[in-house]
Every structure is written in structure tokens, then in C-alpha cells.
Chains A and B, each alone.
Chain A
Amino acid sequence: MSDFDSELDATGLNCPLPILRAKKAISAMEAGQTLRIIATDPGSVKDFEAFCKQTGNELLSSGEEEGKFTFMIKKAA
């Protein structure tokens, strides 16, 4: 079993597309569920931090490996 409920591939997309797609994905999820996002835009790190801070969704983790940024977001109750 995977440790997330939905996944979003935002590789190759520039701001604001990753954020926009994440917003749409999260709105279709239940509170408490997690979304994993993979992005390649370096600006997405700051963007997802700001996004979570302002929406109240929890940024569980954020990491980078070989130019790919991975974010885990838990939908707020």
C-alpha cells in the first residue's frame, strides 16, 4: 500500500500550473487524505510552501532528487 492517496505529476510545468493542478486535485480529496506531487520547476518549492501556509493544508514533506521536487500535502480538516 502506498503512503499517499492521490498523485499529481506536474513535471515540465511552470508556475502557476503545478499549484493550479494541486488545488483542483485537493478539492476532489477527503480531509486527512494526502497528495503526492512531483514537479520540476524550482520555483515550486517556494510556491507550495506559500500555498500550504495560506490554505491550511499541511506540507508533510518536501524534497529534491536529481532535479525532481516531491511534495506531500495532507488536506486540512
Chain B
Amino acid sequence: MSVRLPGPERRESILKAARRLFSEKGYHGVSIDEIARKVDVSPAILYRHFKSKQMLYDAVLRAMSAQRESYVQTIINSGTSFEDVLTGMTQVYIKSISENPDLLRIELQSLLDKNPATSDFFKNRWKSFTDYIEFSLNERLPYDTPNREVTILTAALMFQGMLREALLQKYLQPEDRLVDVSLHELSHELVRMFLRSVGIEKSHLSRRGVING
């Protein structure tokens, strides 16, 4: 016998179970029947809340994007240097994933599923970082830098790759050799290495910035 729940609570419990299952098995790996079983309702009741699997999936994404990281607090509280802002944004992003690691799994699943709604959702999340890095480097990098445009794009890609890999290592492979390094330490070190690689040393950080070679 299933327990009778009021509508909004039932909807919430369906969303939660769906998020979990989609994150573990991907969009195509989960059926409506399986989600219904998980929350102990009949598929008919589930369909009363969500008309199709796609609509349920979209609702899961919408609920997650309502919790989109806000960088406003970071910008208000931190300095405005490239290093300060990038460090602050990284901390916010890490916090958001640590509170909801399902996001990371759904992101990976969505890369394989080729679901346009999901890929846009995750692309936009990373875009905050890549846009910020590209915009800032574009302002700072000398105009005669060889391969300037490619250098800027590659730097943004490198940062995204580093941060995503650190999160994967910490949340999806917790047995690994990085187990003694906290994500906080890891991210600080990654930001530092990144800055050095694009030619920004902490002591050189100024309004004009210094990037050479």
C-alpha cells in the first residue's frame, strides 16, 4: 500500500527519485515504471504529475537550474582582480556540486545522451567560467601575442577541464589517491597553476595585468 501524500509533496518526491535515477542511468536507461516503483506509486499517478518522461526530465533540470550558482555574493565580497574573482567563482561552483553531486552525474550522462535541453543547461553553467576567462584574457593579453585567439580559447578550455576533472576525482572516484587532499586545497592549487600558466603571478596582479608569453 502506498502512503497518500499531498500533491506538492508527491511531486517533490517524484522529482527527487527521478533526479537520482537519471543521474545513475541516464535518460534512456530509466523508465517511468521504474521511477514510479521507486516512489511507490502507480505509473498512472506519476503521469498525473508529469505527462511524459521528457517532461519529467525537463522538470528535474528546471529544478536544478533554479538552484543555479549565484556569483553575486562573491563579486560583492571579493576583490575585483582576475585571481580573486576566479577563485571565488570556483569555490561557489564546488560548493554547489558538493551539495548536489547528482548534477555531475547528469552532466556526464547528458554528454552521451545528446539531449539538447541538458547540454544547453550544462554548457551555460560552464559558460560563466569560459566567458569570464576569455573576456579577462582578451583585455590583458598583448595584441601581438602569437596565436592570440586560440591561446585565449585554450586557456578557458584548460580551466574547465581542470575543474571538472577535480570534481570527478573527488565525487565519482572517492577511493583514489587524492583522497587526502581536500577539494578546497585542490581547487586553490589548480587556480594558482592556471594563473601561472597564463602568465599571471600573484605579485603582478594589478589593474593592467601582466601577461607575457
Contact = CB atoms under 8 A, between A and B. Distances in A.
B76 A51 contact: yes
Of the four ranges (under 10, 10 to 19, 20 to 34, 35 or more), the interface on chain B belongs to: 10 to 19
A11 B85 CA distance: 20
Contacts of B76: 23, 51, 54-55
A50 B70 contact: yes
A17 B135 contact: yes
Interface in B146-167: none
Nearest to B92: A16
A76 interface: no
A19 interface: yes
B75 A20 contact: yes
Interface of A: 13-17, 19-20, 23-24, 43, 46-47, 50-51, 54-55
28 contacts: A13-B135, A14-B127, A14-B128, A14-B131, A15-B70, A15-B71, A15-B72, A16-B71, A16-B72, A16-B75, A16-B89, A16-B128, A16-B132, A17-B132, A17-B135, A20-B75, A20-B85, A23-B76, A23-B80, A46-B70, A47-B70, A47-B72, A50-B70, A50-B73, A51-B72, A51-B76, A54-B72, A54-B73
